[in-house]
Structure 1
Amino acid sequence: MGTKYASSSAHPTHVDSGFAGTLKNIQLNDLIQMCCLSTSSVCMRVTKDDRIGTIFIVDGEIVHAACEDVEGEEAFYRILGWQTGSFESIEVSTTPQRTIHNNYHYLIMEAARLVDEKAGLESAPSATAKGSREEPADDRLRVLIVDDSPMMRKILSSMLTASNRIKVVGMASNGEEAISLIDELSPDLVTLDVNMPVMDGTSTIKHIMIEKPCPVVITSNPGDGSSKAIFNFLELGAVDFMSKPTKNQDILVQQHKILERVRVAATATVGNFRIARIPTAKTGRTASKPIDRACHRLVIVISGPGGHLEQMILLSGLVPALAEKDGAVVAIQSLPSSFSEPFARYLFERCGCPASPIGHEASLFSGRCYVGNHGWPLAVKMNGDEPAIVPKAREEGLVQVDRLLTSAATVFKQHLAVVLLSGANTGEQSGLRVVHENGGRIILRKRSSGMVAEPLDQVVEAGLADEEVNPADLLITVLNGFGRNH
């Protein structure tokens, strides 16, 4: 909606009254969303020529609107249909009787639809033109939000619907409600909380994957000790994980990350998911015997949405096999940085894979796995005769994965292999090009067998993939390639 308003505070300027000032060319619907997101209580008086309308927001919900001779939603839509005007905030002394019951996302979207519809009718060549006009297909991504917190459902819904490509078709407070709504609504994607009453997230995702498979993104707080549960969800078929929004971080940055994760996860071919058993380490033994000897070969394994389980399975066999070839592995995953240490511990506990998070400069030793995050600034360098991986300072405009691949290719040259799994983000691909220029190999998991192929498609289209192999052949392909290098 393009409605623009000038605004001035209705409060006197004495102390404790807040600020007085003017906002020019602001859209009324944006201001309403801001008030709702911040759970404010305010009355807005909107003026257009000699017409006056009021909108009441209480604790972030639009509860009442009045304009001329009408109240409720009709009044709300009439006010937001004005193309110009002014508004002022008025202190709410008493809460009016509720006349509006729909949530604010629906109200704002419906208001925008009515404005567009009116504009379309006015611009039509003839009001009596023959023939009917078909409604445009709604190709927005249909999302179901599942979370036991009403506030979190509201926040997630607001963030998702900020994109005109996403439609929140339903919200559920527990797994039982979610299963019922999935049958009824057939969403394109489900965001799923971990801990809920009635039916928790674990039981819910099992039901989803068995009865009506669709892409599922797990939502939780990384700091609440739920990391092991998250890995279990990924093993059960969840495409990805994303942190719940928090107040102490930039809300727009968080919104951008959430929208991108949902967009990519929605492309997942869930039918390709197969529950696979990760090899378990024998009690008291590790799957490989790392020694403090500098590695001479390096494999960088990058995964993304849909590729988390693929990475765990590959690493369980790749790390011990490389120990015999003086090789090491750097595993780059797209989970939050706080998950690197739990992920390394999980690899060791599940399959005896000697893994450690990259928290400081570390020498790259044979038979070891070093776990990093896609957003971390990492680089490979030589310390005398020993290669090392080093956390670096962030540089504006530099894509972190490109820096890592470029530096690794410079050090290891033809003794470097890059393995790209489902959803692997390869930045701007400048790093992959340097890998090629230095004789390294780029190996892709076969796209038709994985969950998220979109990022890998871009690598193939750029002509940067040396081999694309079935998942069962990845390990032998990596090892045989090193056998050809002298």
Structure 2
Amino acid sequence: MTKVRALVVDDSFFMRKLISDLLSKSGLIEVVDTAKDGIEAIDKIKKLKPDVVTLDVEMPRMNGLEALEQIMKNHPVPIIMVSSLTKTGTDTTIHALQLGAFDFIAKPSGAISFDIAKVKDELVDKILIAYRQKEKWIRQWNINKKGFISIRNQTQKYIEQLKDNQNIQGIVAIGTSTGGPKALQEVVTKLPKNIPYAILIVQHMPAGFTKSLATRLDSISEIHVVEAEDKQALQPGTAYIAPGDYHMVVERQSNQYFIRLNQNDPVGGHRPSVDVLFKSLSDVPLNKVMVIMTGMGSDGTKGLQSMHKDGNVIRIAEDESTCVVFGMPKSAIKSGVIDMIVPLYDIANKIVETIQKQRGWQSWN
């Protein structure tokens, strides 16, 4: 097998050495060089043309976000952000993912993590996946640079029909993993502010990052986006993102619906788990639009299988052509529970159309 050629970028000599040694010992990755900041990284990417880059977030001269923008503009390559669990680190990482970074790894114990070996397997796996997806990912990035055909105008004509209502009339549930932050930006920012459904989101992320993701999406969306809280009442026009390291479920009390968070055992290696959320919705007597998007593995399939097969539940899977990793949607599609297979840039439109049909409108004009 040809080794994956990686460039390691970190302002700490110790971290560059530790990460390089970990990757080299895998036997699958060749570290072609290292760089101490964004300026040096750009120069070495231009000269060495690595397959994948690991990029630190907080660096002098040019930080990870600034470097990412320059790299993606001039020399696009799959980039794994390596972030410390600080507010600055998490905020910048979420922004980076939405600007085109392939994925991220959280340093276990701050900027200089001598225990980085704890995430060795995860880091190696993500680099190998980035390498396998490289050509497809670069093609998608070039499309994104030119801009997907915006569906904002298509969605806008429906807004008058989606009237404000203090009682939710249904639920949109979204599950995603690798590539999810960028995919969520494509979908959530195109939903109209007075959508009569609550939106529940499970994105595989560690604690700390989901708050930054919610804040970032809220700042660029018409709907309200928050990190979910325990015992929080669901409201229409609001998206709730499951906090990292917590499962999110929905409970009914009288005629109201509430979020409940728990730290029960991970399911399929995940907490939060898409399956856990989806299964909790199986007996909720509301219209539901279930969406499974880009991500590794099969999380979400069992949850979709638990749904009653009736007109009140529509299941949407992201099309392979726009997935960063076609794992979760592929599993759901193969199981036979999917009603629509939709490219990323049209998912928001299909959600709105489905809501209208579920509410009994036969004409969109």
For the superposition of Structure 1 and Structure 2, which TM-score range results when normalised by the shorter chain? 0.7 to 0.9
**Equivalent residue number for residue 300 of structure 1:** 173
SS where residue 410 of structure 1 aligns? coil
CA distance in 1, matches of 2:297, 2:241: 16
Match of 1:466 among 306, 326, 339: 339
1:393 matched residue in structure 2: 263
The Cα shift of 1:406 comes to 0.7
- Whether contact under 8 Å (1:290, 1:365) holds in the other structure is no
Aligned partners of 1:153, 1:475: CA distance in 2, in Å?
41
Structure 2 residue corresponding to 1:312, chosen from 180, 185, 202: 185
Aligned to 2:224: 354
2:322 is equivalent to residue 483 of structure 1: no
Distance change in 2, residues 1:361/1:255 (3 Å): farther
- In the TM superposition, what is the alpha-carbon distance from 1:291 to its structure 2 partner? 7.4
Task: Find the aligned partners of 2:54 and 2:304 in 1 and give their Cα distance.
Answer: 33
Give the aligned partner of residue 362 of structure 2.
Answer: none
Q: Name the SS of the counterpart of 1:158 in structure 2.
A: helix
SS at match of 2:91: helix
1:417 to 289, 301, 320: 289
Q: Deviations over 1:35-75 (max 9, x none)?
A: xxxxxxxxxxxxxxxxxxxxxxxxxxxxxxxxxxxxxxxxx
Q: Does 1:151 align with 2:151?
A: no
One-letter amino acid of the counterpart of residue 419, structure 1: V
* Other structure's SS at 1:363 match: coil
Residue 433 of structure 1: aligned partner: 305
Measured in 2, the distance between the counterparts of 1:279 and 1:340 equals 26
1:403 and 2:271 matched: no
**2:208 alignment partner AA:** S
> Using a 3 Å threshold, how does the CA distance of structure 1 residues 391 and 290 change in structure 2: closer, same or farther?
farther
Provide the C-alpha distance between the structure 2 equivalents of 1:438 and 1:424, rounded to a whole number of angstroms. Answer: 28
Match of 2:126 among 261, 276, 279: 261
What is the CA-CA distance between 1:448 and the residue it aligns to? Answer: 1.0
Match of 1:167 among 19, 25, 30: 30
Match of 1:244 in 2: 107
Name which of 199, 222, 237 aligns with 2:85: 222
Once the two structures are superposed, residues 241-280 of structure 1 have per-residue CA deviations (whole angstroms, 9 ceiling, x without a partner) of 2212328998665333333333444425122021459999
Distance apart, 1:295 and its partner CA? 1.7
Residues 466 and 375 (structure 1), Cα distance of their counterparts in 2 relative to 1, 3 Å cut? farther
Q: Which has the larger radius of gyration?
A: 1
- The alignment covers a number of residue pairs equal to 339
Give the counterpart letter for 1:385 in structure 2: N
How far does the alpha carbon of each residue in 1:182-233 deviate from its partner, in whole angstroms, 9 at most, with x for none?
2343222111112323433233223322332111111121214233322332
Distance (Å, rounded) in 2 between the aligned partners of 1:211 and 1:172? 18
Question: 2:187, 2:345 within 8 Å by CA — same for their partners in 1?
Answer: no
8 Å contact 2:151–2:346 — kept in the other structure? Answer: no
CA deviation map 1:366-420 (0-9, x unaligned): 111111147531212211211222102313656522111111122146x221222
Against the structure 1 CA distance between its residues 429 and 471, is the aligned structure 2 distance closer, same or farther, given a 3 Å change threshold? Answer: closer
In the other structure, the counterpart of 1:202 is 65
Report if the CA contact (8 A) 1:319-1:329 is conserved: no
Rate the CA distance shift 1:477–1:304 in 2: closer, same or farther, 3 A. same
1:234 matched to 2:97? The reply is yes
In 2, the alpha carbon distance for the partners of 1:381 and 1:462 equals 27
Whole-angstrom distance in 2 between the partners of 1:171 and 1:419:
40
Seen in structure 2, the aligned counterparts of structure 1 residues 394 and 181 have a Cα distance that, compared at 3 Å, is same
Q: Measure the CA separation in 2 of the matches of 1:293 and 1:424.
A: 36
What's the offset of the Cα at 1:356? 1.9
> Following TM superposition, by how much is the alpha carbon of 1:478 offset from its aligned partner in structure 2, in angstroms?
1.4
Q: CA RMSD in A?
A: 3.3
Cα separation, partners in 2 of 1:253 and 1:434, compared to 1, 3 Å: farther
Name the structure 2 match of 1:452: 325
**2:143 aligned with 1:271:** no
- Report the secondary structure of 2:193's partner residue: helix
Task: Tell me the secondary structure at the aligned position of residue 422 of structure 1.
Answer: coil
> In the alignment, which of 38, 51, 70 is matched to residue 188 of structure 1?
51
Equivalent residue, structure 1, for 2:363:
none
Question: Secondary structure, in 3 states, of the residue corresponding to 1:245?
Answer: coil
C-alpha change, 1:296 and 1:190, in structure 2 (3 Å) is same
- Please tell me whether the aligned partners of residues 332 and 374 of structure 1 are also in contact (alpha carbons under 8 angstroms): no
Change in Cα spacing, 1:367 to 1:397, as seen in structure 2 (3 Å) is: closer
Contact 2:95–2:216, Cα closer than 8 Å, also in 1: no
Unaligned runs of 5+ in 2: 153-158, 360-365
Aligned-residue sequence identity (percent) comes to 24
Counterpart amino acid of residue 125 in structure 2: E
Aligned counterparts, 1:276-291, within 5 A: none
Report the CA distance between 1:452 and its aligned residue: 3.0
Contact 2:295/2:325 (CA < 8 Å) preserved in 1? Answer: yes
Greater relative CO (CA pairs within 8 A, separation 6+): 2
Asked if structure 1 preserves the Cα contact closer than 8 Å seen for 2:288 and 2:314, the reply is yes
Normalised by the length of structure 1, the TM-score is 0.62
For 2:163 and 2:107, locate their aligned partners in 1 and report how far apart those are by CA, in whole Å: 37
Give the aligned partner of residue 155 of structure 2.
Answer: none
Q: Give the whole-Å Cα distance in 1 for the aligned partners of 2:77 and 2:321.
A: 17
Q: CA deviation at 1:320?
A: 1.8
Change (3 A) 1:473 1:396: closer
The whole-number CA distance in structure 2 between the counterparts of 1:435 and 1:359 is: 25
What's the CA shift for 1:360?
1.4
Alignment correspondent of 2:202? 332
> How many Å apart are 1:178 and its aligned residue?
1.9
